Amino acid sequence: MTLGPVEQAPPTIFCDDEGACYFDSGPNPLTQAIEQLLNQVGEEGWELVQIVFRPDQIIGFWKQEVAA
């Protein structure tokens, strides 16, 4: 085991007792896919109001101005 500055530590994966894993840093294709999807909907004129995280789900609430 080598000790050094935390900035030099490699990315770490944490897994909970139910098998869900979380990345502390580094590219994550799932996170990148979610970001791409959110940006795509935003480019269509929708504004993200809130995101709710549930087991195995992400729920997004959006709003868009209605033309009179």
pLDDT at 9 over 70: no
The model's pLDDT over 22-41, given as tens digits with 9 standing for 90+, comes to 766 556 677 788 889 999 99
**H or E element, residue 9:** none
Average pLDDT of the residues in 32-54: 91
On the question of pLDDT at 1 being above 60, the answer is: no
Give CA torsion, residues 20, 21, 27, 29, to 10 deg: -20
> How far is the CA of 21 from the CAs of 7, 30, 63, 65, in angstroms?
21, 12, 31, 38
Quote the pTM value. Answer: 0.55
